[in-house]
Structure 1
Amino acid sequence: MSQSAPPPAQPPAQPPAQPSAQQPAEQQPQPQPQKVDAAPYAPHPGAVPPPPAPGAPYGAAPAPAPVRNNLGLGLVAAFVAAVVAAGVYGAIIGLTKHEIGWAAVGVGFLVGLAAGRLGGRNPVLPVASAVLSLGSVYIGQLVGEAMIGAKETPLSFSELFFQHFDVLQEAWKADADPLTFVFFAIAAYVAFTGAKKAAH
């Protein structure tokens, strides 16, 4: 009975070599860099984007608003506002029989606002607003004189205002005092500055 020869002995398996502490760092295997996208982290919903770097554009800048500069429309608007304000101012004087300072301020404000909002930044409009507000205050005071005169005379308002305008002017001169001209100045100033502010 024959016996087979035993298989040759296999050398024991060696564990993988551990890098020694004495081994230089450059000989140790380096991890391979992984490719990343340009934006490795997706922004969270509702996150605020970071501010742009100085000198770097961050999207397209909005186009500047066109400058409004319509002299004709501004003058028409100021004239209409002056006529309406004169009627309201005159009615206040006629009902109260007093000149009221805040009413003169309102006249200038309305005229300047209308001119600036509709006419824009034309440099003529503040000056025109001041002149129109002076006329508006004057006509308003004459309207008030006519309303007061219609209550004290047999003549109606329309007869006094349209047929006896010279009489109204004489009555206005007799009633005018320094405060009357202060109201003129206030209305003109408010109209001038109001037209400038409303144009922006």
Structure 2
Amino acid sequence: MSQPYQQQPGPGAPGQQPFGGQPPYAQQPPARTGNAGLAVGVAIVAAIVATAIYAFILKSLFDEQTGEVTKISYASILVGALIGAAIGKLGGRNVGLWVLGAVLSIAAVFMGEMYGYAMIFSEVSDGQLGSATEILTDHFGDMFKGWREDMGAMAWIFMALAPLAAYGTASRLGNR
């Protein structure tokens, strides 16, 4: 008597490997795509928050006795890292978003500098020039000109650290 027919499992069945037990190719984990729209939105909010924090740090480092502002590089690095974290965590492996994070970090540091100086001018003038927002909007051209003339080599280095931190943080988090 013959035995009843039993279907043998195919190459895709559990426990079976095609081609003599070796996988035909190494399987890669699926690429993390992320959510670009959410990443951009959160990065913009992070840039606005970082701008405000940077401005308050700048204002707090103003010495009324000497009339000088002590600048620290850590503030710009933190701004870049915050924005880069938002981009990398939510945007995944999207290099275009990493570049956007670098650009947003430069804008956040620059606007933080402008708003910080506007806060200082408002405080020093005892409100004669108006609030910091009024000074920033009404005298932006004059403030920018003065800021540009006052920029030293260290200030340019600090400005360059923000996008480096943003891109580096985004790439590390995005590649996880």
Q: Which moved more, 1:142-151 or 1:105-114?
A: 142-151
Aligned pair count reads 141
Contact kept, 8 Å, 2:88 with 2:172, in 1: the verdict is: yes
Matches within 5 A, 1:4-153: 64=29, 67-97=32-62, 98-153=70-125
1:165 to 140, 161, 164: 140
How far apart are residue 192 of structure 1 and its match? 0.4
The 1-side partners of 2:31 and 2:171 are apart by: 17
Query: Which runs of structure 1 show a deviation greater than 3 angstroms over 4 or more consecutive aligned residues?
Result: 63-66
Pair member with larger Rg:
1
Structure 1 gap segments, 5+ residues each: 1-54, 57-62
What amino acid sits opposite 2:91 in the alignment? G
Residue 27 of structure 1 is matched in structure 2 by none
Report the AA paired with residue 168 of structure 2. Answer: T
SS of the residue corresponding to residue 68 of structure 1 reads: coil
In the TM superposition, residue 187 of structure 1 has moved relative to its aligned partner by: 0.7
Structure 1 or 2: more helix by fraction: 2
| Alignment gaps of 5+ in structure 2 | 1-20, 23-27, 63-69
Which structure's relative contact order is higher, taking Cα pairs within 8 Å and 6+ residues apart? 2
- Return the alpha-carbon distance in structure 2 between the equivalents of residues 168 and 116 of structure 1: 34
Identity %: 36
| Cα RMSD (Å) | 2.0
TM-score, normalising length from structure 2? 0.73
